[in-house]
Amino acid sequence: SISKKVFFFFFYRNDFIARTLHEAYQTRALRNNETQDFIRHWLMEFKIGDKIEISRIEGEGYSVKVIDKDGRFKNLADIGTGSAQIVLLLLKVSIILSTRQTEAVLLVIEEPEQNMHPNYQSLLADLFFAMQQKGIKLLVETHSEYLIRRSQVIVAKLCSEMHYTQEELDKKNPF
């Protein structure tokens, strides 16, 4: 779950957010052009902002800002919980992509739809499909009918475009 803090101490080993920020900062994940484009696209799709900036403060921890296209920023603590969850997920994806660990990682996501508007729950399916297209393996546990229905639409569209038989679909279904 996401916590509403402005400052994350990196020596708190049980704080998933602090560990993720530390890893993103250390790997310079947000400086990779491919990763930046992916994150920027999804931040804009979810209407969260334009980019993410992680600042290291006094060797103690990190702060996270979401910056819009006009340069205005909000701390992670000042955006909605659902938006903060998306930012954290995008940070994790940036680490995986920038370190080229797509084959070695299975990303397990539990109830990503929490605190999200139904439109954004549907949009999660598109994000998960894009992540899968980048080679990231996912295991998602959800109760969201919106996410499930959107994944069905994506699969139907893929079947139509690729002219899959049922046997091919059983092997190539991204969900």
Reported as a pLDDT band with limits 50, 70 and 90, residue 146 is: very high
* Dihedral of alpha carbons 51, 95, 110, 9, sign: negative
Q: How far apart are CA 7 and CA 61, in angstroms?
A: 7
Is 70 exceeded by the pLDDT of residue 1? Answer: no
User: Which class for 4: exposed (0-12), middle (13-18), buried (19 or more C-beta within 10 A)?
Assistant: exposed
Three-class secondary structure of residue 107 per DSSP: strand
| pLDDT for the residue numbered 170 | 85
- Of all residues in the chain, the percent with pLDDT exceeding 90 is 61
Residue count of the chain, please give it.
175
Q: How far apart are CA 91 and CA 94, in angstroms?
A: 5
Measure Cα distances from 83 to 33, 42, 90, 166 in Å. Answer: 23, 11, 11, 37
pTM: predicted TM-score of the whole model, two decimal places:
0.89
Question: pLDDT by residue (tens digit) across 98-121?
Answer: 888 778 789 999 999 999 999 999
Is 70 exceeded by the pLDDT of residue 2? Answer: no
User: Higher confidence at residue 104 or residue 41?
Assistant: 41
Highest-pLDDT range among 9-18, 55-64, 74-83, 141-150: 141-150
Reported as a pLDDT band with limits 50, 70 and 90, residue 72 is: very high
| pLDDT for the residue numbered 58 | 87
Angle, vertex CA 145, rays to CA 120 and CA 82, nearest 5: 30
| pLDDT for the residue numbered 131 | 94
Query: For all residues of the chain together, what is the average pLDDT?
Result: 91
